[in-house]
Amino acid sequence: MSTLDALIYEKQDSIAYVTLNRPKVLNAYNIQMRDELYQILSAIKDDLDVMCVIFKGQGEKAFCAGADLTEFLTAPSPTIARRVRFERDVWGLFLSVPQPIIVALHGYVLGDGLEIALCCDIRIASENAKFGMPELGLGIIPAAGGTQTLARTVGKAKAFEMLYTGRHINAEEACRTGLVNRVVPRDRLLATADSIARRIVSYDQKAVRMVKEAVVRGLDIPLTAGLELERRLAKV
Ligand code: COA
């Protein structure tokens, strides 16, 4: 187990656990967390012993309440604050991780928190989870991929509603709209994520990675090219 400042990294039975660890500020995403996330995702990508990743949040109130507003507000301008966050392409890195990623979501899942969740492959929510995109209310737009990943996950109309209104939606609505895969009681959240991860770890890992590659790359290309990609992967 390595405890960094903003994250905890653990590895057990070929499953990597990444815990957002700033519970006093509802795991708000700051520059420290960005740098540590970059470091950990790079290590995971190259670690053949990691066959599945689980993201989770420390504390009872939130998975992550979005960008750290104190950092935002102390930057000389929102543009500079935003530029600082672009210095490392954490989101590009996130989406290029070849292993399956599961996220266990509880409490507030807002802004960057929701964007982290949207970079994951399977989202499990506890019954108390609340989801929202508050960026427009702060005079900015989501820039951790949210305008793209949200619309691709819940469709254009629901994405626009969440982005334009900033309304928090509950776990049941999130499940109905496809934002999360499954809703479970809070005390079953980690066990549910774990049991899915253990199933994945039991499979042939080359095949698992090929499924991820086929789905992720396939969504960006026309169906005929996607079918060709699948044929090529099946022959490897
Ligand atoms: N950045 C920095 N600190 C944050 C934070 C954020 N995004 N969200 C919460 N915190 C801090 C609060 O300032 C508070 O700190 P304090 O105890 O030192 O006063 C602590 O976390 C607990 O939050 P609090 O607001 O007291 O909890 P709550 O249950 O009353 O409200 C929220 C929860 C999520 C509704 C509220 O904290 C909130 O609106 N946060 C900001 C959400 C946001 O706009 N994120 C940015 C997205 S781009």
- pTM, to two decimals: 0.94
Q: Are the beta carbons of 106 and 63 closer than 8 angstroms?
A: yes
- The position carrying tokens 């996220």 is 103
Q: Mean pLDDT score of the chain, rounded to an integer? A: 94
The Å distance, Cα 134 to ligand 1 centre, comes to 12
The secondary structure of 130-151 as a DSSP string is: EEE--GGGGT----SSHHHHHH
- The position carrying tokens 């070929």 is 14
Residue 85: pLDDT over 60: no
Give the side-chain half-sphere CA count within 13 A for 97. Answer: 30
Tokens of 28: 């708000």
Is position 71 annotated as part of the catalytic site?
no
**Confidence band of 75 (pLDDT split at 50, 70, 90):** low
The Å distance, Cα 67 to ligand 1 centre, comes to 10
Tokens of 104: 């266990």
The secondary structure of 24-86 as a DSSP string is: GGTT-B-HHHHHHHHHHHHHHHH-TT--EEEEEESSSSEEE-SB-HHHHHHSS-HHHHHHHHH
Is position 161 annotated as part of the catalytic site?
no
Residue nearest to atom 42 of ligand 1 (CA): 65
Helix, strand, coil percentages in the chain from 3-state DSSP, rounded to 5: 50, 20, 30
> How far, in Å, CA of 165 to CA of 137, rounded?
8
Q: Are the beta carbons of 153 and 187 closer than 8 angstroms?
A: no
The Å distance, Cα 199 to ligand 1 centre, comes to 36
Residue range 95-120: mean pLDDT, rounded = 97
- Ligand 1 atom closest to the Cα of residue 111 is 47
* pLDDT above 70 as % of the chain: 94
Which pLDDT score, from 0 to 100, does residue 122 have? 98
Catalytic position from the list 36, 87, 115, 213: 115
The Å distance, Cα 47 to ligand 1 centre, comes to 35
Q: Which residues line ligand 1 (CB under 6 A)?
A: 25-26, 28, 65-70, 108, 110-111, 134-135, 138
